[in-house]
A and B are shown apart, each in its own frame.
Chain A
Amino acid sequence: MKKLEIIIKPFKLDDIKEAVLQLGVGGMNVSEVKGFGRQKGHKEIYRGAEYQVDFVPKIKVEMVVPDDLVSRIVEAVKETARTGEIGDGKIFILPVEKAVRIRTGEEDEDAI
């Protein structure tokens, strides 16, 4: 099993959700986060009330999936979340040791 941590632009959330559900992913968690990469924020000038925007709003999507789904999900996310402009986001893939479904006690692949 692998955990995917995906950072995307906020407006891409619905598209990503659809794309990933179609591939048979069981569920996901979503959080509103702020961040920057090489983009490093930018200075916004709002009519004289200039202030430095250090962190840009992003969405983080997390999911744990079976190994055989990983590459397909990565491809789908790459295609769906991409605008071609800086700040499109990143995908991180982490190994998962174990998973448990609290209600039934099912483990590992049965838990996701």
Chain B
Amino acid sequence: MNGSASIVQEFLHGREALTREQSARGFGVHTTRDYTALVDRLVFRLIRQVTALGDEGKDAAAGFAVLGTGSYGRRELCFGSDVDLMIIHADGLSQTTRKAIAQALYPIWDARLELGYTFLTADECLHLLHDDFSVLTAVMDLRFLLGSPGLYHSFQRRIRKDLRRDPETLLNRFLVYQDKREKKYGRVDFFLEPEIKEGLGGLRDLHFMAWISRIFLNAGQLGRIKRIPDFSHFGLSQLMYSKGFLLKVRNHLHLLGGRREDRLLVPHQTEIARTLGYHDRPYSTGPERFMRNIYLHLNRVRYGREQFLAKALDILVPLPPEPSPKRVSRKFQVVKGNLVLKEGSLLDMDPLVVLQAFDEANRLGLFLGSGFIWEAREKLLYEGRTLASMPEAKALFLSLILNPKNPRIIRLALEIGLIGHFIPEFKRIRHLAQFGYYHVETVDLHALSTLQNLYDISKGVFEGPWRQFKKAFDALDDTRNLFLAGLIHDIGKGYRGNHSVKGAQIVPRILERLGIDAEGIRTVSFLVENHLFLIDRSQKRDLNDEKTSVQVAQAIQQTALLNQLFLLTVADCFATGPAASSEWRIMLLTELYSKVRRILEKGRLASPDATIRVRNRRRSLYRALIRDFPKRDILALTEQASTRYFLNTPPKDMERHFRLALRLGEEKFKWSLEPLGRAPVTQVTLCTRDRPGLFSRMVGVFTSNNVQVLSASISTLKNGLAFDIYRVTNPVDPLREKEVWTTIHREAEKAVVEGEEFDDDLEVRLRSKMGPGHPGNPWIRTVRIDNDATDFFTCIEVYSTQRRGFLYLLAKKLFSLDLDIRFAKVQADQEKITGVFHVRDSRGQKIQDPTRIEFIRTSILSISS
């Protein structure tokens, strides 16, 4: 049809012109209206061609009415939007007319628009909207285009009447819809790449408010709600501004994608940022700045909707009035659950009243009246700076932050700029999004969530396996620093570089301003700088290795600090999002925490001077070796040795071990012999590949060559090397000394290489050597098995009267019990022998089974020569 073709052409030209209009006000609300008008004209002209409607398109006698719905009905068409029509009739519409109208609309497809339409009677419509929420909302935004106005009005009246029959159920449907939206769009991926229309804080939130207003508050347009007293101060104009911004972005999105794309994918973010003129700046790129603006508006719309809904529900489903709390300060009173001034205007009062109100409302679990909020906002605009410098104000602010009982109040404090006045550094993280995965909120809201979680922990909200959070909290004497850290732990974001380090640099400035003492500043700085430390270690290091926990313990030093860091980490995880706070992740974190705590409580391993001593020894060891060996090898080997080794081994001996190990190469066995002072005692410093039974074989070799072991210190490295030190009596015959040592060396090497095969040979020779010992001395033995001293080993302590060969039998017994000795210290003299053994079972675990422990004890006690 020629007529249609030219109508479509005209439309396309008009649309083209609109898309090129990049003026200052372009692409926002005005553009959508203009575009809607263009489409109106298109629809109008096409339908008029086949129907007998007058110039205005109105005919009371027409048996139908063409209505626009959805965004078309709202006059909010974006360039990629669908055009949705509803053609209502009073049941008398002939098939011919229907067909004609439908065909008349076909050219709309040629205009590259997605068209949707249905023919409905009022009855059919009512039927549908009871079951289908989307029909219900379509009906909310109906707009008459052409046909019979009378039909349209009576249609509207019927719908309205029907909807009023059961407002409660209807309201519920809206609330359920909202709930579903929250669940669907509250995920990480929708945070990073927001859905401008349907997502949280998107255009849908505004539609939602409009629907509620229209149906339940009798306000045909959203703007009319300001006539309702409760809404007189509602920040509608700001919301409308945000709407304009979002529509603008949506239009750009549609043009970019060439279709209805409402998801702000990352490539689009870059593209649109450029189009809209967001340039790079020193601390943030153009797209980052653009997205900050996006989040500003999304957050604002979302918060607006939350406040709106709270107020609306207050009106529609008012809770029974609670008795006013008795302890309200004289200048305030409670009206409908909100704190307000008893008389006068806040604008004439001392600015401190603002904080007093916040503090009191927070403590009493109340919110503030909207009039008061409006005045407070004004007050802060002009006198915020003054307020923030008043000491009493700072004290009140702290009292608010350190006891965040009412989340709505804390959020309000953020929204009206109260937090920003006391902590100006907060402005940098306002509306800032995190592009590391896992986060579902902007950094400012995340900070508040963390704070909230700390409060919840203190109230025992986290249950089940997370019960211990409360225990850790209760163990704290002072929680001030923890809450402060919770609020500002991410303050270093929005700069380049490591935000933990940057945050710790900013903390002193913030806390000094608030009047916090030096010790508090130190603690909070430490917490902020290390708030990712525990997570990192628990996931990236072997928790089964004592060293992991020791190093963490050495870094933290005090139990109180550990508890605070743990709680901050946990609160941060839960505030980040579900992936960051999965049970999996928290389990690992908690395991590390417990192990570290035990070390700090039980121990000398991580005490301040142990820490210093270990550090100094490592350093001097390094310096001694660096002349002869490459740095990488030294450091790698150092990493393998345990903290116990560093604490318990004299520096000279360590150097010997390291030299032997670094030269070991392919050899199996290396030792060095040193005479000790004037006594006939030699120190054997030994390095070899550890294998089960090594200790007992070494002792066996010495004993069978008539060399008595006076002391032994053995340590197994992570990489399987054994660092042993034996102090032994020299061979009896001084003339044959060298020969004996050679024999011992050969036999020891054989023992290491051959392992079990060597044992039988050894047994035979030993049996002839071992005598009954000193007659007359009663055989006293004590065996203590301690599983509590450390999380990593079972500790076996043996005290016994000395008998020749006893050490060999003991060592062999331990081997036969399938115990892996990781660390041991043995002392023997003529009278007695004592040994401390840190062992694990063959699978690398502590011995947990009580039966087994008992068996080990009795086995050792039963050793006899």
Listed in ascending order, the chain A residues whose CB lies under 8 Å from chain B are 9-11, 14, 32-34, 39, 42-44, 46-47, 49, 51, 53, 57, 83-87
Contacts and interface: CB of A to CB of B under 8 A. Distances in A.
Contact of A11 (B539, B587, B720): B539
Given A11-B539, A32-B582, A57-B587, A42 B471 contact: no
Contact of B845 (A32, A34, A46, A85): A85
Contact of A84 (B471, B588, B844): B844
Given A11-B540, A47-B471, A53 B844 contact: no
A14 B588 CA distance: 17
B542 A43 contact: no
A11 B844 contact: no
Interface of A is mostly: mixed
A9 B542 contact: yes
Given A11-B541, A49-B468, A51-B465, A85 B844 contact: yes
B848 A42 contact: yes
Contacts of B540: 11, 14
B280 interface: no
A83 B844 contact: yes
B582 A85 contact: no
A85 B840 CA distance: 10
A83 B588 CA distance: 18
A44 B591 contact: yes
Contact of B584 (A11, A51, A57, A83): A57
B594 A46 contact: yes
B453 to A, nearest CB: 19
Contacts of A44: 591, 594
Contacts of A33: 584
B843 A85 contact: yes
A5 to B, nearest CB: 18
Nearest to B587: A57
A34 B541 contact: no
B848 A11 contact: no
A85 B720 CA distance: 12
B539 A10 contact: yes
A11 B845 contact: no
Nearest to A47: B471
Interface of B is mostly: helix
A83 B542 contact: yes
Contact of B544 (A32, A49, A85): A85
A49 to B, nearest CB: 5
A57 B588 contact: yes
Contacts of B544: 83, 85, 87
A44 B588 CA distance: 12
Nearest to A9: B542
A42 B594 contact: no
26 contacts: A9-B542, A11-B539, A11-B541, A11-B543, A14-B540, A32-B584, A32-B585, A33-B584, A34-B583, A42-B845, A42-B848, A44-B591, A44-B594, A46-B468, A46-B590, A46-B594, A57-B585, A83-B544, A84-B720, A85-B544, A85-B840, A85-B843, A85-B845, A86-B843, A86-B844, A87-B544
Contacts of B582: 32
A84 B822 CA distance: 13
B98 interface: no
Contacts of B279: none
B522 interface: no
Contacts of A10: 539, 588
Contacts of A86: 843-845
B467 interface: yes
Interface string B447-480: 0000000000000000001011001000000000
A57 B468 CA distance: 19
Interface string B820-862: 0000000000000000000010011100100000000000000
Contacts of B468: 46-47, 49
Nearest to B720: A84
B848 A34 contact: no
Contacts of A32: 582, 584-585
Contacts of A84: 720, 844
Contacts of B845: 39, 42, 85-86
Nearest to B598: A47
Interface in B529-554: 539-544
B553 to A, nearest CB: 16
Nearest to B588: A57
B587 A53 contact: yes
Given A46-B590, A86-B844, 18 more contacts: A9-B542, A11-B539, A11-B540, A11-B542, A11-B543, A14-B540, A32-B582, A34-B584, A46-B468, A47-B471, A49-B471, A57-B584, A57-B587, A57-B588, A83-B542, A83-B844, A86-B845, A87-B544
